[in-house]
A = this chain, B = another copy of it.
Amino acid sequence: MEGYRILEVKQSVFDNNNRAADALREDLKKDRTFLLNLMSSPGSGKTTTLRRTIAALKDEFRIGVMEADIDSDVDAATIEQTGVKVIQLHTGGMCHLDAGMTRQGLEGLGIENVDLAILENIGNLVCPAEFDTGAVKNATILSVPEGHDKPLKYPLMYTVCDALVINKIDVLPYFDFDMEKVVEYARMRNPKIEIFPISAKTGEGVDAWVDWLRRQTNAFIGK
């Protein structure tokens, strides 16, 4: 028997998603649960990055993970092996999660004993950026093979994110990826964005990303 549940989340009944998102953040503050919304293209390495992140932080925080997907549960099965609490959210074809769906997910996960909740959003650079999930911080992963022009082509994603993880730096020699340009383009969208070049595969650079997430979580839950 698999150790994770699958929850079909429904589109929100709230007509004002921003208000629902603010209300969710207030409740998270009361519950002392930090919520990170992790977004990216398909195949940029969200799940592998998450496994590294969990391995680094699971002795410090009680972690819960929500894996959003159209209808598979490949990622929940992978994350379950890390030993943290995990739930699979199925959106039934929807390309994003809104704050109401995220709240349903958190209720399904059960956050009483969770310090750090992570939402692995649908692999998509457009729709997830348009809906505030109620997360305390937003992060996006851009992998080297995708190219350094992505902040030009998907501006909103970079505008709404607090952190940019540049993954797969181990394959930099095989791609025409300009690190200076991607930093310049990302900062055009959000001058305050924090940028972490990493290889989730080799572990290079992961410490700086984990330190940032640790500081954000501690600041929010008052540890």
Chain A count of residues within 8 A CB distance of the other chain: 36
* Bound-complex Cα distance A146 to B75 (A): 14
Is A23 in contact with chain B by the CB < 8 A criterion?
no
Chain B: minimal CB distance from A56 (Å) = 22
A71 close to B155 (CB less than 8 A): yes
**Cβ contact within 8 Å between B95 and A43:** no
Q: Are B127 and A126 in contact (CB under 8 A)?
A: yes
B154 touches A70 (CB 8 A): yes
Q: How far is the CA of A130 from the CA of B94 in the complex (A)?
A: 10
Given the interface pairs A127-B126, A145-B171, the reply to whether A93 lies near B156 with Cβ below 8 Å is yes
Say yes or no: is A222 at the interface (Cβ < 8 Å to chain B): no
Q: Is A26 among interface residues, defined by CB-CB distance under 8 A?
A: no
Q: Residue-by-residue, is A81-110 near B (CB-CB < 8 Å gives 1, otherwise 0)?
A: 000000000000101000000000000000
Residue A17 interfacial (CB < 8 Å): no
Q: Is A204 an interface residue (CB 8 A)?
A: no
Q: Determine whether A208 belongs to the interface, using a CB cutoff of 8 Å to chain B.
A: no
Q: A166 contacts the other chain (Cβ, under 8 Å)?
A: no
Q: Tell me if A51 is interfacial: C-beta within 8 Å of chain B.
A: no
Nearest chain B residue, comparing its CB with the CB of A122: B126
The reply to whether A69 and B130 form a contact with Cβ atoms under 8 Å apart is: no
A136 close to chain B: CB less than 8 A: no
Q: Answer whether A149 and B95 are a contact pair too, CB < 8 Å, given A123-B41, A123-B125, A126-B124.
A: no
From residue A94, how far is it (CB to closest CB) to chain B in Å? 8
Q: Is the CB of A153 within 8 A of B95?
A: no
Contact with B along A153-194 (1 / 0, CB 8 A): 111100000000000101100110000000000000000000
Among B124, B130, B150, which residue has its beta carbon within 8 angstroms of that of A125?
A: B124
Q: Cβ of A44: which chain B residues have Cβ within 8 Å of it? A: 146
**In the complex, A144 Cα to B174 Cα: how many Å?**
13
Given A43-B150, A70-B154, 16 additional A-B pairs, CB 8 A: A41-B41, A41-B42, A41-B123, A43-B145, A43-B147, A44-B146, A69-B153, A70-B155, A74-B153, A93-B130, A95-B126, A123-B154, A124-B126, A124-B127, A143-B145, A145-B168
